[in-house]
Amino acid sequence: MSDTREPKQFVVSDRNLALELVRVTEAAALASSHWTGRGKKNDADGAAVEAMRIAFDTVAIDGTVVIGEGEMDEAPMLYIGEKVGAGGPAMDIAVDPLEGTNLCAKDMPNAITVVALAEKGNFLHAPDVYMDKIVVGPNLPDGVVDLEASIENNLRNVARAKNKPIEDIVLCTLDRERHEELIAKTREAGARVRLLSDGDVAAAIAACMDNSQVDIYAGSGGAPEGVLAAAAVRCVEGQMQGRLLFEDDAQRERAQKMNPGKDPDRKLGLHDMAAGSVLFSATGVTSGTLLRGIRRLPTHAVTHSLVMRSKSGTVRFIEGHHNFSTKTWTPQ
């Protein structure tokens, strides 16, 4: 008798994928933690990239890197367009193997390893330019902040929506000269400013978490980091807007080429940066507001990760205990 059933599809539940992704960010974090505090950011980054690349080999996807370490000729691994994964559904991958290389090199808070996954075609192809960003957490009225509004208005709206005096509102931004006006105006409006030396992916996520004491993340940082933050903000149902910032026409043309048919100067909503069903995982390298860093003990290391899916909105904090004597796939 002939079998009339459809051939079995290679179906991988994105629930399982979420756990596989944690292993990828854990591997990168364990590898880069050898370099914590050693003042060598490139070595720390290189270790994270290599470990992440190897860890991807066991993930059941047909993955294409869309946000990565750079173009094929600039980056030996995890370059834009590189295929990764062991085979499975076609997915786009956004990575920042060590977000905050300086933070790791100087043993300062908030260095994390980051990966986001989406079905093919759902991430903005962000060139390596700056992006103006604004982020607030969930359960606030739609449009409570707007990139085109003045910072004073945004602060006032958030204070009103959260039913707090503006004096209790905290805005977080990168400590850069380009943010002088943003910082001054925020303080003039009566709000507080938390300054970061680096790491705006963790900061954008922190703005969405109740326990972080951050109400708004604003300012310009890397555009690739913006896409990763957008994936995370989608999972926790926060709000985010972005806009690519170009220093010259060549940068604008590049963005245009990477996203044909789209206005490169447009204001980007959350779904313009990360659409469809997305998965996000991050592991702490150094301890920060979002995650604890790697703890190394004589026989094992402990990792703390955050893994989220936009479909279910489930946010998991996962503590991993990695036994050095049995773990072979990641450098100790």
Residues of the binding site: 45, 69, 96, 99-101, 130, 176-178, 198-200, 222, 225
User: In sequence order, what are the residues at sequence separation of 6 or more whose Cβ sits closer than 8 angstroms to the Cβ of residue 212?
Assistant: 206, 289, 290
Q: What is the CA radius of gyration of the chain?
A: 20
Nearer to ligand VTB, 14 or 96 (CB): 96
Return the range that interacts with ligand VTB (CB under 6 A); candidates 30-38, 194-202, 299-307, 324-332. 194-202
Nearer to ligand VTB, 176 or 327 (CB): 176
- Contact with ligand VTB (CB under 6 A): which of 222, 242, 284, 293? 222
Site string for ligand VTB, 78-117 (x = CB under 6 A): ---------------------xx-----------------
Q: Does 46 bind ligand VTB (CB under 6 A)?
A: no
CB of 298 to ligand VTB, least distance (A): 32
Q: Does 221 bind ligand VTB (CB under 6 A)?
A: yes
Q: Does 219 bind ligand VTB (CB under 6 A)?
A: no
Q: Does 45 bind ligand VTB (CB under 6 A)?
A: no
CB of 170 to ligand VTB, least distance (A): 18
- Summarize as ranges the residues that interact with ligand VTB (CB under 6 A): 99-100, 176, 198-201, 221-222, 225
